[in-house]
Structure 1
Amino acid sequence: MSQPLPLTTLRGHHRTWQVLHAEGELAPLGRLKAGLPRPGVPRFDPRCFTHEEDILTELAALGVRRIAPVYRLGPDERRVHGFIEGEPLSAIRPPGAALAPGELAQLSGLFGRLARVSPAALARVHSCPAALRPRTSRDFMRGLVRFTRRRVFAVHRTALHGLFAALRVDPVVLSPTGPLARDAALLTDRPFCLLHGDLHRDNLIVAEADGMLWTIDWELALIGDPLYDVATHLHLMRYPPSQEHALLTQWARAVDERLPGAAAGLTRDLPRYLAYKRVQSVFTDVIRQAQRVAAAPPEQRDMALATAGEMVSTALRKAARTLGLGRVPSPRAVETVYAAFSAAPAPPSAKSAPAVPAATRRAGRGVAWRRGRSGTG
């Protein structure tokens, strides 16, 4: 059997992808993608499936359309993906741009198809221990907050405590008594289904053959509350406000038709999930930008610092209310914090970088929940 020949390499966050051109008897398969894990890449999101190929295979068997096919090649039956010929939606409609009505309809249809995929349908490949799986929407959100507390902040706390302190990001926001945990306790229960977990413009491919949207990158797929999936989608897509409302209306109709009760409590609970996503982004962006600044060669350090300033300042602004911040530090102020922190000797401490002014801390909601325990819990 002829083997695919290497063509090029793509770098994803979790895996490096080798794009292969199938030849000989495999030629009808077209281009293929073979993934290689990237060791040491930090995890910022929980997962329910060990291998993306497992879930793609199960979804294909369930009749879910416009996802990459999975093939087994060679004597070791290495699993590879079919390459979706086209370009990311982000190249055509960048963040902040409105989607065409037909694209919006396709997305609501995708959410509807996911709502039909029950936990039982994926039991064979669900990797989380049954005893630890959440049973209610309240437990599901508590689990998200706990993951960010234990597997994101706590893992990087020793190295980056000084950076978080300088930016006035208090980890008590993630505590079992913090505002996110209190929000979780108020959630309406909804039936669980399959969630993509990372549905944004770069993971939607506009097929060159017919202009239809294909969905890629299922590595963060979960079984859980369907409202979390659309909250993540809204957080990442950056729709214009009027189109955000249109998407939500179509989403509610699509999921409720296929999974009655899936859109229950939408108006009350969506802000609670969005608050979590914004806080999660702060912790994720602070850590990622610290790593990128540290890894930048000298000639690229100024650019890395400027990027860190823009991204972290934006994340802080969006999460300011939940974090209890008043005046959010400007990109330039954040850049200064990162420059000082990256120049400090290891191990860094709370004094490693100049803190943003104390006036940025707002009284009110923040004061009450800061009386709670600030450990990682």
Structure 2
Amino acid sequence: MTSPALRHAQAVGTVDGPLAGHHREWYVVRPEGELRGLGRVKTGEPRPDTPRFDRRGFVSEDELLGELARLGVPRVPPVHRVRAPGSPDLVIHGFIEGATLAALSPRGHPVAPALLRQITERFASLCRLRPGAVRARRVRHPAGAGADGPEGDGAGFLRALIDYTREHAHRAHLPRYGPLFDRLGVPRDALGPRSRPVAEAALLARRPFCLLHGDLHRANLIVDRSGALWTIDWELATVGDPLYDLATHLYLMDYPAQQHDQVVDDWRRTTGALLPGADAHLDEDLPRYLDYKRVQSVFTDVVRQAAALTGTAACPGFPDRLRTAAALVHTVLERAAPALGLDAVPDAGAVEEAYADFCALSPSGQASPSRQTSPSGHASPSGHATPSVHTSPSVHA
């Protein structure tokens, strides 16, 4: 049965292929009729029942992108509304022709200097947008479940993130994945009141808030044919501590050590000048945010890898997929061990055995929503080819 997203895409023009994405079912389309002049575009619908591991800040990515255009933010996809008689308007995004940074420079590899400069420029464009400048509707989080703190309250901001991760990325998955977490040595109170991340969050300095992208990794950065760097996937954008955006970027990019330090220095110099106070106590607070990202990645990747493997034990290539998943989860556990208070983590073989046992006990069936994407990456059969979303830690597009 054709999905609503695919029907919408077919109503716009010729469909080239699906895009990978956790939160939406996207399609690349060559528009026809009056829209032909737009070039290739993309359109899609939210995926039903997709687990959310990240706290969102805005009600609608489409609405936010419209605001960014109004505010003159460069190199973000344009948004168009198409009149559809007898039905709600269709929303289509411009498709940026080019290659993802992930395809040009995979995770862990250095990034070309010209592109590094443009990444710094992206942070600069974000820090200019203070909380009152962006009029897109904000998500209202329930009081007591990660409510927003006052502007500039970095401690409250990080505590809200921790609260969301504890409730939605960990506790919500314990009924199904609790035994797997236990086998991997993840404490049930990993983000409880006495945990290291909660204690460290209370020590964060105050910094002025601004718009954050929230997911600046290599697959969300597109290099066009002229060498310009575009930023896509604003689904996790929010308003908050600018140092969190830097920490998220550093964790997901996994720069070589020398380039990691260069990015921090460039961010400090540029953002500190444009948003005075943004770099306050950076050396003390950046490691605190990075610790949180490492712990968050454990919950995200343990569940996503389990969901990706469930029901595939009889499929060709399962042993290789199992081995790859175990290696990834072992890596994220090692990185998060100090923040989780773990003296040791299971080796890759023990992680593989835990997942094999989990799959043996889990009922077979259809792939979970997180797996219903193009296996080759960002676009198929043409477009931005990126690594599979299951091959690097917490690239949660």
- Smaller-chain TM-score bracket: 0.7 to 0.9
Letter in 2 for 1:25: E
1:302 counterpart = 2:323: no
Q: 1:327 aligns with which of 333, 336, 344?
A: 344
Q: 1:177-196 alignment to 2 at 5 Å?
A: 177-196=194-213
1:72 Cα deviation from its structure 2 partner: 0.6
In structure 1, stretches of 5+ residues that fail to align are: 347-377
Q: 1:202-281 alignment to 2 at 5 Å?
A: 202-208=219-225, 210-281=226-297
Q: 1:121 aligns with which of 133, 141, 145?
A: 133
Cα distance in structure 1, aligned partners of 2:186 and 2:12 = 52
Cα distance in structure 2, aligned partners of 1:231 and 1:328 = 24
Q: Which moved more, 1:155-164 or 1:337-346?
A: 337-346
In terms of fraction of residues, the more helix-rich structure is 1
Letter in 2 for 1:89: L
Partner of 1:32: 41
Partner of 1:375: none
CA contact (8 A) 1:3 1:74 kept: no
1:130 Cα deviation from its structure 2 partner: 9.9
Q: Deviations over 1:253-302 (max 9, x none)?
A: 22122211111111000000000000110111111111111132512432
Partner of 1:316: 333
Partner of 1:362: none
Partner of 2:214: 197
Q: Deviations over 1:325-364 (max 9, x none)?
A: 2333221110001111222378xxxxxxxxxxxxxxxxxx
1:109 counterpart = 2:121: yes
Matched residue SS, 2:28 = strand
Matched residue SS, 2:189 = helix
In the superposition, the TM-score normalised over structure 2's length comes to 0.83
1:246 to 1:224, Cα distance in 2 relative to 1, 3 A: same
Matched residue SS, 2:27 = strand
1:125 Cα deviation from its structure 2 partner: 1.9
Q: Which moved more, 1:293-302 or 1:6-15?
A: 293-302
Larger radius of gyration: 1
Q: 1:77-156 alignment to 2 at 5 Å?
A: 77-128=89-140, 132-135=147-150, 136-156=153-173
Cα distance in structure 2, aligned partners of 1:38 and 1:294 = 19
Q: Deviations over 1:71-90 (max 9, x none)?
A: 01132321110010001011
1:127 Cα deviation from its structure 2 partner: 2.5
In the superposition, the TM-score normalised over structure 1's length comes to 0.88
CA contact (8 A) 1:163 1:338 kept: yes
1:124 Cα deviation from its structure 2 partner: 4.0
Cα distance in structure 2, aligned partners of 1:283 and 1:292 = 14
Letter in 1 for 2:209: F
CA contact (8 A) 2:15 2:30 kept: yes
Cα distance in structure 2, aligned partners of 1:52 and 1:121 = 16
1:14 counterpart = 2:16: no
CA contact (8 A) 1:4 1:22 kept: yes
Letter in 2 for 1:103: L
Q: Deviations over 1:48-71 (max 9, x none)?
A: 112111111001100000000000
Letter in 1 for 2:102: S
Letter in 2 for 1:133: D
Q: Deviations over 1:162-205 (max 9, x none)?
A: 11111110032201221111000100111111110000000000
Matched residue SS, 2:310 = helix
Letter in 1 for 2:133: A
Cα distance in structure 1, aligned partners of 2:12 and 2:197 = 51
1:340 counterpart = 2:349: no
Q: How many residue pairs were aligned? A: 344
Q: 1:73 aligns with which of 79, 82, 101?
A: 82
1:316 to 1:3, Cα distance in 2 relative to 1, 3 A: closer
In structure 2, stretches of 5+ residues that fail to align are: 1-10, 364-397
1:341 to 1:294, Cα distance in 2 relative to 1, 3 A: same
Partner of 2:394: none
1:160 to 1:184, Cα distance in 2 relative to 1, 3 A: same
Letter in 1 for 2:89: E
CA contact (8 A) 2:12 2:29 kept: no
Partner of 1:44: 53
Partner of 2:184: 167
